[in-house]
Amino acid sequence: MANGTIRYWAAAKSAAGLAHEPYDAVTLAEALDAARERHPGELVRVLQRCSFLVDGDPVGTRAHETVALAEGGTVEVLPPFAGG
């Protein structure tokens, strides 16, 4: 298991009720599943629309089960932004 930080932005921050929290997971999928369990309701819906950065790298279309998390790493949860 790796320990790190999940950072929530915009609507994800509002839905989670906090700006960041720790993760204890091997993959992005495990970290997000744990976040869904801790914050049932709106965050579950928001996460369906989010994009993710892991240690600054975009996850893109990669399966979350294949994205390994590093010890001391950071997962950024980015909801869609309006404007452009």
Band the pLDDT of 83: cuts 50, 70, 90.
Answer: low
Distance CA 3, CA 73 (A): 7
The candidate with the shortest Cα–Cα distance to 77, out of 3, 2, 16, is: 16
Band the pLDDT of 80: cuts 50, 70, 90.
Answer: confident
The pLDDT, as a whole number, for residue 81 is 77
The candidate with the shortest Cα–Cα distance to 45, out of 14, 5, 74, 21, is: 14
| pLDDT tens-digit map of 55-72 | 999 999 999 999 999 999
Query: Are 29 and 52 spatial neighbours (Cβ–Cβ below 8 Å)?
Result: no
CB atoms within 10 A of CB 14: 14
Give the bridge partners for 4, in sequence order: 23
| pLDDT tens-digit map of 13-46 | 999 999 999 999 999 999 999 999 999 999 999 9
